[in-house]
Structure 1
Amino acid sequence: MTPEEFRRAVQRFFGDRAFEVHVDAMEYIGRWDGFTLKGYPWSHFIDIFWDGRQIGTLNPSEIMTEAVR
């Protein structure tokens, strides 16, 4: 996943709500209202964390497909 793919997926999931995204060479981190989302260059999935615990995983291709419908 590229940083831009991560940003688009986070925007699709959270809509136009404000969120913070930090990108470096090893991980992409998005934060919104207590949630932390982590993406990685070597993975096509986004991990969702709440209060430091992983609570789920997003498949960005499914988010994009749903948005088209």
Structure 2
Amino acid sequence: MKFFLFNNATNEIVVNEPEVMLVKEFADLWEPTRNKTKKDPKGQKRTRAFRELAYIWLMCDWASPYADYSE
């Protein structure tokens, strides 16, 4: 199961939304009410969740570009 995909062309992380929703803790991060920010007052863009999920992926996933570095 791939929760996150890394786009090498743009060097961006892409969240695989259908699979992320299968994990309750990740689905809780995705809730619009939790993602309200000044730039996104309704939380529809889910920028906060994206930043948090990207951090989780970069720190924990073996497919991360940082997996070869020591902690």
| Shorter-chain TM-score above 0.5 | no
**Bigger share in helix:** 2
Larger RCO (alpha carbons 8 Å, 6+ apart): 1
Please tell me whether Structure 1 or Structure 2 has the larger radius of gyration of its CA atoms.
2
TM range (shorter): under 0.3
Normalising by structure 2, we get a TM-score of 0.27
**Bigger share in strand:** 1
